[in-house]
Chain A
Amino acid sequence: MTTDTGLTVVRSATPAWRRRLGSVIAHVLLIGASVLMLYPLLWMLSASFRPESEIFNSHSLIPSSVSLHGYISGWFGLSRSFDTFFLNSLTISLLCVAGNLAACSLTAFAFARLEFKGRNLWFALMLGTLMLPYQVTLIPQYVLFLNIGWVNTFLPLVVPKFLAADSFFIFLMVQFFRGLPRELDEAAMMDGCSPWRIYYKILLPLSLPVLTTAGIFTFIFTWDDFFGPLIYLNSISTYTVTIALRTFVDSTAESNWSGLFAMSILSLVPIFVIFLFFQRYLIEGIATTGMKR
């Protein structure tokens, strides 16, 4: 559906030179828009390599001299260095990916492939939580996690993923599982395969595309998450990169812009790498499901 062949071309009676002109104009517009879109990002990239004095005095994207000062002073800019924050973000994100893939696929398998009483009711209830604003569950969840002593640990951010709290990904996987031929499980059932083996040995290996999509989106959402860490993590040793950046803005930004930009750039690197290597999954994921990014 999103392959790059088979584009729509409106062939009309317009002469060839006018079509050409139209296409040149379109390219000029698009290139102009591209420059405008990317300029802020490139400016931040270049600012991160500039000496402090030059940052706000130059529109040019190429620094007069490349300085790593921002990266070094930024990395050690808070009372703990950024390796703590990157490690925390990475730990949380990978645990969330594991939790979402395991729990959502189990749930989706039950909804898509198993027969049991009440299935449609539970499925409808699950769908009902899709559009629920998180603010409605926020405060009681916070009180709960506070009372069991989980505040200031990664648990409130990670454990819900292992309990399939992300209905969106359940829905995504149900749709995918339903598209796989049913004869597969029926044949396996005849051979005496248990549901667990059907799930584990047959369905999961066939579901790599949807698992990849769910995995990368979970990673991006968690890596970028600001609200969750903001309320649940309050000692600096547990900070994620997002919270560390915010602390940076509040404490030292005015005196260390290049450090702030350098750390901001580094915080975007994992997402950019995913963009480079998994762009097809990102674009297909969005085109078919309207994923938020």
Chain B
Amino acid sequence: MTARSVGAASDPPGRAVTPSFWSRIWTENGPGYLFLLPWFIGFFGLTIAPILSSLYLSFTNFDMLTPPQWVGMDNYVRMFTNDPKFYQSMRVTLLFVAFSVPLKLAFALAVALLLNRGMKGLPIYRAVFYLPSLLGASVAIAVLWRTLFAGDGLVNQGLALIGIQGPAWISNPRYSLWTLVALAVWQFGSPMIIFLAGLRQIPQDVYEAASLEGAGRWRIFWKITLPLLTPVVFFNAIIQTIEGFKSFTPAFIISGGTGNPVNSTLFYTLYLYQEAFAFFRMGYASALAWVLLIIVAVFTGISFLSSRYWVHYDN
């Protein structure tokens, strides 16, 4: 095929000179690829190549001083058969996600419903409830939490006022994880904003029709509001769950980087960090990262599959 014949087929009409094959390829594709150049460097250099090398490293022992040694499936076998800390970190993370996400969404939805009743002062309330969620991820807030829930902290002082002797929340393995759950739930502001936006999308006439037919508020919520809101619930649940799996800073700060007491706050991310950057077991840490990727992918996949049965879409 000659350059001319390819050019003739798709040349826009009205061009005086038919440019050569290569210059046409360039004018049609060049600018696009030039604009993408920074992204290409990042995509291949910082994403694709690292993904592939971490897959490779997950089958090796690698301490960064000597070259990686191929050990086959050893890392994965050890993880599932001979590593109590792996199971513990998995358990802690799943517990954290399983409690913090539903509680957070329940608070977010309840407050959004209250605010959506045409409350006066909505912008102020919204700002107040949003603020913790904006600030909450910072080290400063984790520091604050650590002191609030300390044995002689504000929480126990408050409890003492009503005659309850609170435990040392942070240093007691029975309660330490729950302080982190409380910290996550305290940050219900951003899903609340998403719920508020979703509630606004529900057409007014649906409510009017329902109340004309004499449906009470409770019934309207279960039969109309909630089903129409399921896409937003789904969206929030996915985002918050993935965030929950990735959570790191609060557990690190509150436990001083250890995941203690008795590994009760050893989040998966924290365990991975320790393996990689405290013990320099980079191969094992890579295997942990791949297991995390698979868990997140499987979870997301199942959620999307299940969404067909409970998420209500208009069309």
| Residue ID in chain B nearest A99 by CB atoms | B38
Shortest distance in angstroms between A48's beta carbon and chain B's nearest beta carbon?
A: 10
Shortest distance in angstroms between B174's beta carbon and chain A's nearest beta carbon?
A: 22
- Interface presence of B51 (CB below 8 A): yes
- Interface presence of A16 (CB below 8 A): no
Is A2 touching B140 in the complex (CB atoms < 8 A)?
no
What is the total of A-B residue contacts with beta carbons within 8 Å?
A: 283
Bound Cα distance A55, B138 (Å): 22
Is B269 touching A220 in the complex (CB atoms < 8 A)?
no
Residues 79-97 (chain B) with a chain A CB within 8 angstroms: none
Bound Cα distance A244, B144 (Å): 15
Is B125 touching A30 in the complex (CB atoms < 8 A)?
yes
Residues 19-53 (chain A) with a chain B CB within 8 angstroms: 22-23, 26-27, 29-30, 33-34, 37-38, 40-41, 43-44
Is A282 touching B140 in the complex (CB atoms < 8 A)?
no
B202-213 near A? 1/0 per residue, CB < 8 Å: 101001100100
- Interface presence of A109 (CB below 8 A): yes
Stretch at the interface among A65-73, A76-84, A205-213, A263-271: A263-271
A38 contacts which chain B residues (CB < 8 A)? Answer: 128, 131-132
| Residue ID in chain B nearest A280 by CB atoms | B123
Is A144 touching B50 in the complex (CB atoms < 8 A)?
yes
Is A23 touching B119 in the complex (CB atoms < 8 A)?
yes
Is A114 touching B35 in the complex (CB atoms < 8 A)?
yes
B276 contacts which chain A residues (CB < 8 A)? Answer: 138-139, 142
Bound Cα distance A135, B204 (Å): 45
Is B38 touching A37 in the complex (CB atoms < 8 A)?
no
Shortest distance in angstroms between B232's beta carbon and chain A's nearest beta carbon?
A: 9
Residues 93-150 (chain B) with a chain A CB within 8 angstroms: 111, 114-123, 125-135, 137-141, 143-148
From A13, A109, A115, A286, B193 is in contact (CB under 8 Å) with A286
A231-272 near B? 1/0 per residue, CB < 8 Å: 100000000011001100110000001001101110110011
Is B131 touching A135 in the complex (CB atoms < 8 A)?
no
A219-232 near B? 1/0 per residue, CB < 8 Å: 01001101100110
- Interface presence of B226 (CB below 8 A): no
A265 contacts which chain B residues (CB < 8 A)? Answer: 140
Number of residues from A at the complex interface, CB < 8 A: 101
The answer to whether residues A110 and B35 also contact, given A136-B293, A257-B147 and a CB cut-off of 8 A, is yes
Bound Cα distance A136, B196 (Å): 34
- Point out which of B31, B114, B127 has the most chain A C-beta atoms below 10 A from its C-beta: B31
Interface SS, A side: helix
A132-173 near B? 1/0 per residue, CB < 8 Å: 111111111111101000000000000010111100001000
- Interface presence of B311 (CB below 8 A): no
- Interface presence of B168 (CB below 8 A): no
- Interface presence of B158 (CB below 8 A): yes
A263 contacts which chain B residues (CB < 8 A)? Answer: 140
B135 contacts which chain A residues (CB < 8 A)? Answer: 41, 268, 271-272
Shortest distance in angstroms between B96's beta carbon and chain A's nearest beta carbon?
A: 15
- Point out which of A122, A140, A144, A199 has the most chain B C-beta atoms below 10 A from its C-beta: A140
Bound Cα distance A224, B142 (Å): 12
Is B204 touching A8 in the complex (CB atoms < 8 A)?
yes
Is A134 touching B246 in the complex (CB atoms < 8 A)?
yes
Is A126 touching B117 in the complex (CB atoms < 8 A)?
no
Shortest distance in angstroms between B103's beta carbon and chain A's nearest beta carbon?
A: 14
- Interface presence of B32 (CB below 8 A): yes
Is B143 touching A249 in the complex (CB atoms < 8 A)?
yes
- Interface presence of A117 (CB below 8 A): yes
Is A135 touching B42 in the complex (CB atoms < 8 A)?
no
- Interface presence of B43 (CB below 8 A): yes
3 tightest Cβ-Cβ pairs between the two chains A and B = A163-B42, A116-B32, A264-B140
List 26 A-B pairs, Cβ < 8 Å: A2-B197, A11-B208, A27-B121, A34-B129, A38-B128, A106-B39, A109-B35, A117-B29, A129-B43, A133-B242, A135-B289, A139-B282, A141-B50, A143-B53, A160-B46, A195-B35, A224-B138, A226-B249, A260-B143, A261-B144, A264-B141, A267-B140, A283-B126, A283-B130, A292-B190, A293-B190
User: A146-B64, A160-B42, A291-B190 known; 16 other A-B pairs, CB under 8 Å?
Assistant: A2-B196, A7-B119, A34-B128, A37-B128, A38-B131, A40-B145, A40-B148, A41-B132, A103-B38, A133-B242, A136-B290, A139-B54, A224-B137, A231-B273, A264-B139, A290-B239
Binding site for A on B (CB under 8 A): 28-33, 35-36, 38-39, 41-43, 45-47, 49-51, 53-54, 57, 64, 111, 114-123, 125-135, 137-141, 143-148, 152-154, 157-158, 161, 186, 190, 193-194, 196-197, 199-200, 202, 204, 207-208, 211, 217, 220, 235-236, 239, 242-243, 245-246, 248-249, 252-253, 256, 269, 272-273, 276-277, 282, 285-286, 288-290, 292-293, 296, 300
